[in-house]
Chains A and B, each alone.
Chain A
């Protein structure tokens, strides 16, 4: 894999952590929408609004988790003082991006979770 050569340059943070930072919260948001929307008619029939809230909480926790991974990666890469190592600035970019991305998508998950408090699923 091409990325293996890239990965070596980003020590001390692994490639997996950086990809989780970049993509994790986005996938959590996607899963939240893709699960909640089709469930509405079922929730109406079965009365389980708690299920929708649970999905929101789990998605939010996932986004917070990827945010934490990104923040930790960023701190480590900031401490790793190797300006000549080509991977490090790029790794830092991915980590900072991950922190911001996790924040944005966590807010979006919250916004998507709010209607469940207000609206009747059978409306």
Chain B
């Protein structure tokens, strides 16, 4: 047994020193980095809030200039929403999910590390702009035309659009990572009806990110193009529409609120179960609530736009959905109350935070139903009532559970117990401070104080209320400091924590505190929702030999392995081999950063960054010949074999990763198509500017060329599945050549165009869609080139061809997506 442990330890331990630090990929390391970085940013954005409150403490103060005030409140909101709330929730998910589902790591550990580096670079970029005094100043939702090229001429908004677009890559990467891990790496026996509620919440959050972030990326790229290369997406004078920005932003922005809330609901379920010493009542309705809140939140975005003059009937569809979301929210609240009622509550600090959450979140939910009503919203829109509402929802709904969760999982992550006395102090200061700060804002709002004003006149009845809010904000800040002090002090001097100090029932408490690099000595087998309460103490004793063999207890040849299980029932199907530490994630993050953030310095850095990105991707994915290559084994799924090595098709995590990438890309293209029709619907003539619809002959030939390339790719792909390397090379060569022909014909077609991207909004949307698709074709040609080189060297065989399969899969996507784009670009102008 000692040798097994030694082998596990050797296989999973990260290298030491600076190199080990830069190359770390372990999910707990990455998760802790996310959480720590996000908490530091939380403190910074909190300090910004205090400056705002000081400025507003009394009428007519001038602690901040109006310009500085704009930057401070914009950075406060942007940091809290983009740099704190989403990353901290993802970080908690990244840290806890593998432990909760009994996996040794996540499905794509290197991608995980890449996501963190992207996040860190984005945060540093935004704060660089803050330090040099040109931070974004258009509010966190950056409405055009204020943020457009005409009214925001400095670099401020450029920082916003590039850093936010770049940052979303991190959010999407983490989401894909979490989804595939939860789908494929759950411990044997963890069928979907035995998944911890927290894992359900993280799964829903990740899916929401996948569908919500792409529209924001499209919107922010459009804004960047408007600002940098003179497109007219949001410019009314040239057929653009500022409301398009609002639609795109809020189609992301409303789900965003729930992206932040839903994982917190999962935290609450975990804490309630542990501190009432019983399973949460109503597992199935709670799962339904989590999923339904996630879905319904995509049908609410227009309620941010009630005062923009949209048709009242259309607005009220959204009012209905906004009010209905109170039902699943209420189901959860009542389920928790019932659980507390039936259980034996233990009033420790995490449970106190849950109590605080229940009170504050319900109040925020009630004002939420109020502002869901169109006429009520028209009265309080853009006043401090809304500020009060969303802080009740976000701080009550998200930050309180988060802090409770940090206190709760602190012993697991750090191995020390936090101080209960300091915990109670921090809770009461935060709870009282919060209500003193934000409750008066409801009234300030009713009295008509608009949000985002940098000062106000005396005698409007706002003076005392604002002073009270400022005092409350400082009490709240004191609570946050006590909390932070508790964490830092306990990490150093706290008493040692045992494996399960709270007596919880889920798997993360079955391993040591902090867990070893391989998480579990033996991958657990799950037969209930709270295995530690309901199953025998298998984790304490030596596992019988046959179980060791069956559940990948014994890694071979230093390979990082974890069981791959089936989607619904969690049956063991395969063993998944995970990659180890690498410097490529950091390299790729820097290359992608040059592509995005380089645009702030010179547009020439964009293609240079893209090229470096390509080099980094090739370096990352190039097979390492020093290590024995895993052969893909296409064994039918009917014969699950835990000893079987890496896999193809839907068994492989990689397959799911590509599927998720295609879902994201489809969302991006769908957003572009929707934007096209949005602009054409608002136009008196289409194409704008009296241009005739595009000619059909050349584009139709070109469509044929692209379809043929897809056929050739498929033919070569089939060939290697039969072991025919020659056929693979010929297929790749033909599709490569046809891809080049497609681009050349494109070039001929567009060099003949009467209009450019900066002619009018029609030109902008047509050139953007075409350019985006062509960029995909170029990327695929480059990717195919590397596959071709490997094929030439005879790397691919009948059994080892996942690289070919993935390349082909993606190629077919880029071919198929051109069909609707062709219809939109060439046929729609004739019908519209």
Q: Are A111 and B320 in contact (CB under 8 A)?
A: yes
Contact (Cβ within 8 A) B571 A115: no
Q: Out of A5, A101, A116, A121, name the residue touching B637 (CB < 8 Å).
A: A5
Residue of A nearest to B677 (CB): A38
Contact call B328/A5, Cβ cutoff below 8 A: no
Query: Does B288 belong to the interface (CB within 8 Å)?
Result: yes
B569 close to chain A: CB less than 8 A: yes
In the assembled complex, the Cα of A2 lies from the Cα of B655 at a distance in Å of 12
Contacts of A26 in B (CB 8 A): 292, 295
Interface centre among B314, B321, B568 (most CB of A within 10 A): B568
Complex CA distance for A119 and B310, rounded to whole angstroms: 13
A92 CA to B284 CA in the complex, in Å? 10
Contact B567 A6 (CB under 8 A): yes
Establish whether residues A90 and B284, one from each chain, have CB atoms under 8 Å apart when the complex forms: no
| A123–B313 touching, CB < 8 Å | yes
Given contacts A5-B571, A36-B317, contact A111 B311 (CB under 8 A): no
Chain B residues contacting A33 (CB-CB under 8 Å) are 299, 317, 321
Whether A115 lies near B288 (C-beta < 8 A) is no
Q: Closest residue of chain A to B289, judged by CB? A: A104
* CB-defined contacts of A86 to chain B, threshold 8 Å: 189, 191, 569, 571
Query: Contact between A123 and B311 (Cβ–Cβ < 8 Å)?
Result: yes
Cβ contacts under 8 Å, B299 to chain A: 29-30, 33
Q: Decide if A89 is an interface residue (CB 8 Å cutoff).
A: yes
Residues of A within 8 A of B298 (CB): 30
Bound CA–CA A94/B568 (angstroms): 10
Say how far B196's CB is from chain A's closest CB, in angstroms: 14
**Interface size band for A:** 35 or more
Question: Which residues of B, 370-414, contact A by the 8 Å Cβ criterion?
Answer: none
User: How close is A44's CB to chain B, nearest CB, in angstroms?
Assistant: 7
Note all chain B residues with C-beta closer than 8 A to A89.
Answer: 191, 193
Chain A, residue nearest B316 (CB): A115
Q: Contact: A2 with B650, CB < 8 Å?
A: yes
Are B292 and A104 within 8 A (Cβ)? Answer: yes
* Set of chain B residues within 8 Å of A3, measured between Cβ atoms: 566-568, 650
Please tell me if the beta carbons of A37 and B317 are within 8 angstroms of each other in the complex: yes
Cβ of A82 under 8 Å from chain B: no
Task: Encode contact with B along A33-57: 1 for CB under 8 Å, 0 otherwise.
Answer: 1001100110010000000000000
- Given A119-B313, A123-B311, A108:B571 Cβ within 8 A: no
Give the CA-CA distance A97 to B285 in the complex, in Å: 7
Cα–Cα, bound, A90→B284 (Å): 11
Structural contact, B321 and A90, CB atoms closer than 8 A = no
**Complex formed: what's the CA distance from A6 to B565 in Å?**
11
B312 proximity list for chain A (CB < 8 A)? 119-120, 123
Of all chain B residues, the one with the shortest Cβ separation from A114 is B320
Q: For the complex, is B324 an interface residue (Cβ under 8 Å from A)?
A: yes
Any A CB within 8 A of the CB of B228: no
B287, B317, B323, most chain A CB atoms within 10 A? B317
For window 177-226 of chain B, which residues contact chain A by CB distance below 8 Å?
189, 191-193
- Contact between A96 and B284, CB atoms less than 8 A apart: yes
Smallest Cβ distance from B329 to chain A, in angstroms? 12
Residue in B287, B317, B569, B650 whose beta carbon sits within 8 Å of that of A1 in the complex: B650
Interface residues in A1-24 (C-beta closer than 8 Å to B): 1-6, 9
Q: Are A9 and B295 in contact (CB under 8 A)?
A: no
Known: A33-B321, A97-B288. A90 touches B568 (CB 8 A): yes
Residues of A within 8 A of B638 (CB): 4-5
**Closest B residue by C-beta to A27:** B295
What CA separation (Å) do A115 and B638 show in the bound complex?
51
Q: What residues on A are CB-neighbors of B292 within 8 Å? A: 26, 101, 104-105
Q: Convert A65-89 into 0s and 1s, putting 1 for each residue whose CB lies closer than 8 angstroms to a CB of B.
A: 0000000000000000000001101
Which bucket holds chain B's interface residue count? 35 or more
**Inter-chain contacts of A1 with B (CB < 8 A):** 637, 649-650
Q: Does B640 contact A (CB under 8 A)?
A: yes
Compute how far the CA of A44 lies from the CA of B323 in the bound complex, rounded to whole angstroms.
25
Asked whether A101 and B288 contact (CB < 8 A) given A29-B299, A37-B317, the answer is yes
A90:B327 contact, CB within 8 angstroms: no
Closest to A87 in B: B569
In the complex the two chains form, what is the Cα distance from A116 to B311 in whole Å? 12
User: Which secondary structure dominates chain A's binding surface?
Assistant: helix
Of the candidates B285, B568, B640, B649, the one whose C-beta lies within 8 Å of that of A100 is B285
| Chain A residues near B320 (CB-CB < 8 A) | 108, 111-112, 114-115
The CA of A92 and the CA of B697, in the complex, are separated in Å by 56
Contact B311 A41 (CB under 8 A): yes
Q: How far is the CB of A114 from chain B (nearest CB, A)?
A: 7
State which residues 151-199 of B face A: CB under 8 Å. Answer: 189, 191-193
* Bound complex: CA A49 to CA B285 (Å): 35
Contact A2 B319 (CB under 8 A): no
CB neighbours of B649 from chain A (8 A): 1
Contact of B313 among A5, A30, A40 (CB under 8 A): A40
* Interchain nearest-CB distance for A63 vs B (Å): 13
Residues of B276-331 contacting chain A, CB below 8 A: 284-285, 287-288, 291-292, 295-296, 298-299, 302, 311-314, 316-321, 323-324, 327-328
Whole-angstrom distance between the Cβ of A115 and the nearest chain B Cβ: 4
Question: Which residues B311-353 have CB closer than 8 A to chain A?
Answer: 311-314, 316-321, 323-324, 327-328
Would you call B319 and A115 a contact (CB within 8 A)? yes
Tell me whether B313 and A116 are in contact (CB under 8 A): yes
Check A2 against B573 for contact (C-beta < 8 Å): yes
Docked-complex contact B313 and A2, CB < 8 angstroms:
no
With a CB–CB cut-off of 8 A, which chain A residues contact B314?
A: 36-37, 40
- Evaluate contact between A6 and B568: CB separation under 8 angstroms: yes
List A contacts of B288 (CB < 8 A).
Answer: 97, 100-101, 104
Report how far A2 CA is from B284 CA in the complex, Å: 24
A5-B321 in contact given A86-B191, A108-B296 (Cβ < 8 Å): no
How far is B298's CA from A101's CA once the two chains are assembled, in angstroms? 17
Q: How far is the CA of A104 from the CA of B292 in the complex (A)?
A: 9
Min Cβ gap A17→B in Å is 14
Chain B residue numbers with a CB within 8 Å of A115 are 313, 316-317, 319-320
Are B573 and A97 in contact, CB atoms less than 8 angstroms apart?
no
CA distance A94 to B569 in the complex (A): 12
- Give the complex CA separation of A64 and B193 in angstroms: 24
B651 located at the interface, meaning its Cβ lies under 8 Å from any Cβ of chain A in the complex:
yes
| A61: Cβ under 8 A from any B Cβ | no
Q: Please tell me if the beta carbons of B193 and A90 are within 8 angstroms of each other in the complex.
A: yes
Which chain B residues border A36 with CB–CB below 8 Å?
314, 317
Q: A118 vs B568: C-alpha distance in the bound complex, in angstroms?
A: 44
Residues of A within 8 A of B319 (CB): 115
Which of A36, A44, A100, A105 counts the most chain B CB atoms within 10 A?
A100
How far, in Å, is A78 (CB) from chain B's closest CB? 14
Contacts of B323 in A (CB 8 A): 111
**Residue contact A93 to B321, C-beta cutoff 8 Å:** no
Give the distance to chain A from B304, nearest Cβ to Cβ, in Å.
Answer: 15
Cβ contact within 8 Å between A112 and B284: no
List residues of B (600-626) whose CB comes within 8 Å of A's CBs: none
Q: Is the CB of A107 within 8 A of B295?
A: no
Contacts of A40 in B (CB 8 A): 311, 313-314
Closest chain-A Cβ to B198's Cβ sits at a distance in Å of: 17
The residue of chain B having its C-beta at the shortest distance from the C-beta of A103 within the complex is B288
15 A-B residue pairs with Cβ-Cβ distance under 8 Å, sorted by A, are A5-B569, A6-B566, A9-B569, A26-B295, A29-B299, A44-B311, A89-B191, A100-B284, A111-B321, A112-B321, A114-B320, A115-B313, A115-B320, A121-B313, A123-B312
- Interface residues in chain B, defined as those with a beta carbon under 8 Å from any beta carbon in chain A: 189, 191-193, 284-285, 287-288, 291-292, 295-296, 298-299, 302, 311-314, 316-321, 323-324, 327-328, 566-569, 571, 573, 637-638, 640, 649-651
The list of the 7 closest CB pairs from A to B, nearest first, reads A93-B193, A115-B316, A111-B320, A6-B568, A123-B312, A90-B191, A40-B314
For the complex with contacts A100-B284, A112-B317, 12 further pairs of A-B residues with Cβ separation under 8 Å are: A2-B651, A4-B637, A5-B569, A6-B566, A9-B569, A86-B571, A101-B292, A104-B292, A111-B320, A111-B324, A115-B317, A121-B311
